[in-house]
Amino acid sequence: MWLGEEQFEFFEGILFQTLGSPIEVLEARFLSGGDINTAAQVFSSEGLFFVKWNSADREGMFGSEARGLDLLRSAEAIHIPEVIGYGHYQDKAYLILEYIDPVAARTDYWESFGQSLALLHSHTQPKFGLSFDNYIGSLPQSNTPTDNGIAFFIEQRLHPQAGMAFYKGLIPKELFDKFPQLYQRLPDLLPNERPALLHGDLWSGNVMVNEQGNVALIDPAVYYGFREAELAFTTLFGGFDDRFYDAYDETFPLEDGFKERIPIYNLYPLLVHLNLFGTGYLSGIERVLDRF
């Protein structure tokens, strides 16, 4: 769908505000995908841009996304779109990124993807978390730096989302009361590996093929956490090609028993989806708690 004159004025305004000189917008069109923001492909006298926007109170969300993209890009492990700028203009918040124009994937796309993600995960720091909080979808995500990865997973991932779901009436009390029992078992169930730099919201909807036929990642929820949690997340909505997982494991081998641990890690994205989209995700949470 092509955009009208009012949107052109908005795009020219934010590009001028970001780049500091008048830029003519030649064409623009809406892009599908995403449940939170509005997005467009913008053709201008200075090239092609990806722009997404929302109400002005979402500027903090775009700011944390920009910082996350910059952090991932600085790892030089995988293609992350360049941040052109973000801010607010009139009554809207916006984020301007490099536009990724996809082509057909290379024949070694999945192997290269697995190797690149393993390289990203090799980046570490002393503590779990991050120096700033951010969002997963539209939900706040706390990243307070924590020494212990299992404590981080409990206190800043599972417990806040479970509590939100309980207070919203999405989880009955008898189910909510099972979470502390799981927390007690986690030190015996999960390997306490060093913190790994994670994309944080890695599923097929946030994966693209770039102009060279290689992988590019968008829409992160960045933090340093358990790399197994990232790989588990990739399996939640259909999973990736087996060549991806094989190449990852060859590059950065996983501890034995990873597949049995996947449901535990996926409690977090299931809780997030429960809080965002409703009780259709409740049965998956019940199965995990009943099992462990």
pLDDT of residue 36: 81
Residue listed under structure tokens 């500091």: 20
> Nearest CA to 69 among 210, 241, 206, 230?
206
Q: Are 38 and 53 in contact (CB under 8 A)?
A: yes
Return the amino acid letter for 288.
V
pTM attached to this predicted model: 0.95
- Strand pairing report for 83-89 and 196-198: unpaired
pLDDT at 140: 96
Residue 69: the pLDDT is 98
Mean local confidence (pLDDT), 25-54: 88
104 inside domain: no
Residue 244 in any domain: the answer is yes
The answer to whether residue 103 is domain-embedded is no
Question: Is 201 known to be catalytic?
Answer: yes
Contacts of 190 (CB under 8 A, 6+ apart): 149, 150, 153, 226, 228, 261, 264
Based on the fold, state whether residues 268 and 211 are members of the same structural domain.
yes
Q: Residue 3: what pLDDT?
A: 61
- Tell me the pLDDT tens digit for each residue of 87-131: 999 999 999 999 999 899 999 999 999 999 999 999 999 999 999
Mean pLDDT over 210-229 rounds to 97
Which of 78, 98, 118 is the last residue in one of the domains?
98
Quote the domain boundaries for residue 203.
109-291
Residue 209, pLDDT > 80, answer yes
Say how far apart CA 245 and CA 192 lie, in whole Å.
21
Q: What is the pLDDT of residues 143-165, one digit of tens each?
A: 999 999 999 999 999 999 999 99
Beta strands in 76-166 (DSSP E): 83-89, 92-98, 134-136, 139-141
What's the total number of domains in the chain? Answer: 2
CA dist., res. 70 & res. 149, Å (int): 24
What pLDDT score does 75 carry? 97
Per-residue model confidence as pLDDT tens digits over 34-44: 668 899 999 99
221 pLDDT band, cuts 50/70/90, is very high
Residues 20 and 88 in one domain: yes
Angle at CA 83, nearest 5°, toward 78 and 85? Answer: 175
Q: Which helix (H) or strand (E) holds 217?
A: strand 215-217
Q: What is the mean pLDDT of the chain?
A: 95
pLDDT band at 30 (very low <50, low <70, confident <90, very high): confident
Structure-model confidence comparison of residues 197 and 27, the more confident one: 197
Q: 190 pLDDT exceeds 70?
A: yes
From the candidates 201, 249, 256, 290, which is the catalytic residue? Answer: 201
Query: Region 138-142: what's the mean pLDDT?
Result: 96
Same domain, yes or no: 131 and 30: no
Question: Which among 37, 68, 98 is the end of a domain?
Answer: 98
Is the torsion defined by CA of 79, 34, 195, 133 positive or negative? positive
173 and 62 share one domain: no
Res 292 pLDDT > 60: yes
Q: Are 164 and 259 in contact (CB under 8 A)?
A: no
Boundary residue ending a domain (37, 66, 98): 98
Count of CB atoms within 10 A of residue 271's CB?
27
Tokens of 179: 């979470």
Q: pLDDT by residue (tens digit) across 64-82?
A: 999 999 999 999 999 999 9
Overall average pLDDT of the 187-215 stretch:
96
**Mean pLDDT computed over 39-52:** 93
Task: Tell me the residue type at 267.
Answer: L
